[in-house]
Amino acid sequence: MIGRLNHIAIAVPDLDAAAAQYRDTLGADVGAPVAQPDHGVTVVFIDLPNTKIELLHPLGETSPVAAFLARSPAGGIHHICYEVADIEAARDRLVTEGARVLGDGEPRIGAHGKPVLFLHPKDFNGCLVELEEA
């Protein structure tokens, strides 16, 4: 059901410093910051030959990423995103298997302009999983 790894998301306390580190120290192709108000974050994507890194920074105090950084002030891996061909079919199969979809269970438009869902980390070895329709 899952396809390729789309990205690994890292929550960061200082978005500019993290982007500069990837650009200047690691020589990566770093995109511009993009606010995602529906998700409560500002994101920067780093393109790699085989996947992407998504740097996440809270957009407002009610952001889920703000809560994550309150628990882990230095930042850290927030979630991993896999592609699926049909997000609603994937959701239905996962729910049938006992997985919990976060939120209201309906796909929302993510940072790439495609439908996404998040799966409860307690159902996936402590890892928050994002599914994105490819």
Catalytic annotation, pick one of 61, 83, 97, 130: 130
Residue 53 CB-half CA count within 13 A: 18
| pLDDT of res. 61 | 87
Q: What tokens were used for 41?
A: 């974050």
Each residue's pLDDT tens digit, 35-91: 999 899 999 999 999 999 999 999 988 999 999 999 999 999 999 999 999 999 999
Query: 5, 10, 18: which is closest to 134 by C-alpha?
Result: 5
Tokens 């809270």 belong to: 58
Distance CA 33, CA 56 (A): 10
The pTM of the full predicted model, rounded to 2 decimals, is 0.93
Fold of 2-133: 2,3-Dihydroxybiphenyl 1,2-Dioxygenase; domain 1 (3.10.180)
Q: Is the pLDDT of residue 31 over 90?
A: yes
Share of the chain above pLDDT 90, in %: 96
Distance CA 70, CA 87 (A): 31
| pLDDT of res. 63 | 94
Question: In the annotation, is 130 catalytic?
Answer: yes
| pLDDT of res. 113 | 93
